[in-house]
Chain A
Amino acid sequence: MSEWLYVPGSGLFHRLDPRPKMVFAAFSTVYLALESEPSVLLVALGILQALSLSCRATRSRVLPLWRALSPLLLILLVFGSLCWRPGDALLAIGPLGITASSFWYTIGMAARIIGISLAISLLLWTTEPGDAVAGLTRLGIPFAVGFPVIMVLQHVVTFHRQFQRILEAQQSRGLTFSRWNPYQVARAYIPVLVPLLITALRSVDTLALALQSRGFEPGKPRTSRRVLRMRTMDWAFMAVCTGTIAALAWF
């Protein structure tokens, strides 16, 4: 699960102020969500992929990200292709068939999902969580909203670790997942999900106490050791990515 988290590095994205990266991630997400032309989506994906591979630190995260998304992409490719859309069938399996339009539609959807994931991951991979909170605060998002968002992202790894430990504990008590009936598989997960939920609730309780014990009060002014400054490089980046997105939208 750590494929979503910050990785130290010194590439262009790492050196940028978090705010232009946030604007970039937001613009890219909105653009990819609205664009419907598969070829343009593929070009956008190519650009994002190239940006991710351009830095040595983030390069190692690209493959795990694709791997993490692969089950979703597989389901999308199978069911999306088989969903009937007008046109000549390229391949027919009984009553089901794949047409050229359904094929390209599915490819576009896959490019959209990976593209959005890459755009957001680029922000997360290259921005220290403390800087991300400071960036959100400077963009006008209250600390009491921005801090928990970033904190929850960090805690995903902790919960994944907890999930693994609970799964191991229950397997040691004879839990198996050998059934293929979805209802029985779902039932088999109850011994894992219930302790996970109880653990999460206990952690949240302690966390709330820990925050207050260190003087945190929502809405009260705070200082920040993270000092952010927009430099020429940051403005230039904003200009380039705004121009690129505008060009893609135009064509």
Chain B
Amino acid sequence: MSAIRVADLQVSYPSPLLDGTRIHALRGIDLEVARGEFVALMGPGGAGKSTVCLALNGAIPHAVDCESTGTVTVAGQETRTTPFAQLARQVGLVFEDAEAQLFNATVADEIAFGLESMTFPVDQIERRIDAALEQVVLSGFRDRSPRTLSGGEARRLALASVLAMQPRVLVLDEPTAGLDARGRYEVLTAIERLQEEHGTEMTVVMATQDAEAVARFADRIAVLRDGKVSLTGTPEEVFRQVETLEAWGLAVPQLARLAHHLGLPPICTPQHAAKHWADLIAPPPSATLPTIPSLAPTTGTIIEIRDLRYEYPASDQPALHGVTLDIARGEWLGIVGINGSGKTTLLKHLNGLLHPTSGTVRVHGEDTRDQQVGQLARLISYLPQNPDQSIFCASVGEEVAYGPRQLGLRGQTLAERVAESLDLLGLTPLAEHPPAVLGYGQRRCVALASVLSMNAPVLALDEPSVGLDRGTVTRLMDVISTRHRQGTTVVMITHDLDLIARYAQRAIILSEGRICAQGRPHDLLADVSLIREVGLEPLPVTVLGHALGWPLPLPVSIAAWEAT
């Protein structure tokens, strides 16, 4: 029996350029989801995943400015003819931006809001609050303010606030995007518990770029591309199409890529692979293990940090303490650690956004305390995680020109610098477009072009891959690698350990405000107990090697097999 039936769904939005044209987000989607099934929607940025989510809960056509044709039937109700508020009782939607979804003063009020709308009596509301909190393991958080929650906790609260309404269909839009390993684990575990508790009672649709999560949970995958369903099947069937998926800009689980390379049965999770591949796979020969993902020779020190301690005002715990670090000129340094470990605080010290409570930070030999942030911008370009924190100009070209113009560049030099940055990111055709109306991936490219155009010797990147499809990540990383080969020092924060393994020459792990380990990425990431101890999640191929008892050093990427 179908829980969801989508037939020839077409959706178009008015162009944000207000020129009368329309953007066709969905071009005739057909999708059927059985009761109790867990379906993952995958697809590159702009494929229409979020639009499908909004169509399933009735926001399309009831609340979103768009035109739509076709039919969507959820839990036996056709969304076009059923009032939005009534659909809310059947379909729970957790938005991609969970923080924006939380608007109450306490966790309990947040969960109660939907129940109050459904005019539940007080005693039932309280019972359902307790039950929902228990389901997402937030029982002690009743009176906390949602604003004080971590990323993972906020996502789980958003999940609880819709679960309390006991929907028959749960729609999750990028539930793990931007979370650290711990937050991701918390959210995924909550979803796993739901599946176990509800069985066929609850149907789940999850739009995501997180291939590893899909491999772990989904019964079926529907791949969206250019507003159409291009591929459907079980995870094993879909992730067998490695070349096709990568050509479409999609992530493929690390073990699926390995299976594809070695011609093994398509298994995507380390637990299953350890069980079924034990006699089929051998560790890669250690001679072929990459020593360092070497990209550029390093010469001298460009950043010196000595005994850095930093305390935020009104905080009794130091955000950083005892941090001593030298960053070599031309090096690519990766910084990893869970949320709250001090990564962004450390990065903000490099360009003077924060000054040490004690200790020193020197860039090019100059103490950052003696310089304004605007002056240090000549030496360090900082790319924040959210591109919308910097985009403000009327055109992409102007946006990219803003930084170098602030540094005093004018005329031909400025024009050449802008043209070069636009070209690097493939933005030249969009130079006259307003950046604010571009898609998320393109806005990230604009933000990166805007800092690259400043041509600073150090590039500080805060989570450059978050929320992006694999194709865009690869394009951004290729551009950064090019700059690195030309001598730019790169300091990169990321939760994506695969990026560290592939690009960084050295990595540091921050935990509770201090450097708890540093060294070559392959050595650090292969240490399963260290990675778990600091709250991170080892890469699947490392877990597989650990489970099969392979000799050290364990692999962190499949590059070694690919090299043989």
Contacts and interface: CB of A to CB of B under 8 A. Distances in A.
A182 interface: no
B374 A154 contact: no
A226 to B, nearest CB: 8
Nearest to B126: A225
Interface in B113-162: 113-122, 125-126, 129, 147, 161-162
Given A172-B382, A213-B93, A215-B89, A130 B109 contact: yes
B237 interface: no
A173 B390 contact: yes
A169 B116 CA distance: 40
A208 B63 contact: yes
A244 interface: no
B88 A157 contact: no
B377 A195 contact: no
Contacts of B216: none
B407 A206 contact: no
A222 B125 CA distance: 12
A162 to B, nearest CB: 8
A129 B104 contact: yes
B11 interface: no
Interface size class of chain A, counting residues whose CB lies under 8 Å from the partner chain:
35 or more
A1 B166 CA distance: 37
Given A195-B391, A222-B117, A203 B100 contact: yes
A214 B381 CA distance: 42
Contact of A225 (B89, B125, B165, B450): B125
B195 interface: no
Contacts, number: 168
Contacts of A6: 105
A227 to B, nearest CB: 6
A214 B88 contact: yes
Majority secondary structure of chain A interface residues (helix, strand, loop or mixed) = helix
B389 interface: yes
B406 interface: yes
Contacts of A199: 388-389
B324 interface: no
B122 A227 contact: yes
A212 B89 CA distance: 11
Interface string A166-181: 1011111111101000
B339 interface: no
A201 B476 CA distance: 28
Given A158-B147, A173-B377, A173-B451, A129 B388 contact: no
Interface string B86-121: 001100110101001101111011001111111111
B264 interface: no
Contacts of B389: 162, 165-166, 168-169, 195, 199
Contact of A172 (B84, B129, B351): B351
A154 to B, nearest CB: 6
Interface string B445-476: 00000110010000000000000000000000
A171 B403 contact: no
A198 interface: yes
Interface in A137-172: 150-151, 154-155, 157-158, 162, 165-166, 168-172
A157 B161 CA distance: 22
Contacts of A220: 85, 117
A48 B372 CA distance: 42
B511 to A, nearest CB: 24
B392 A173 contact: no
A232 interface: no
B373 interface: yes
Given A198-B391, A225-B126, A129 B403 contact: no
Per CB-CB distance, the 3 closest pairs between chain A and chain B, nearest first, are A174-B406, A215-B117, A129-B105
11 contacts: A6-B105, A130-B105, A130-B109, A175-B406, A176-B372, A195-B390, A206-B101, A209-B54, A209-B59, A216-B85, A225-B122
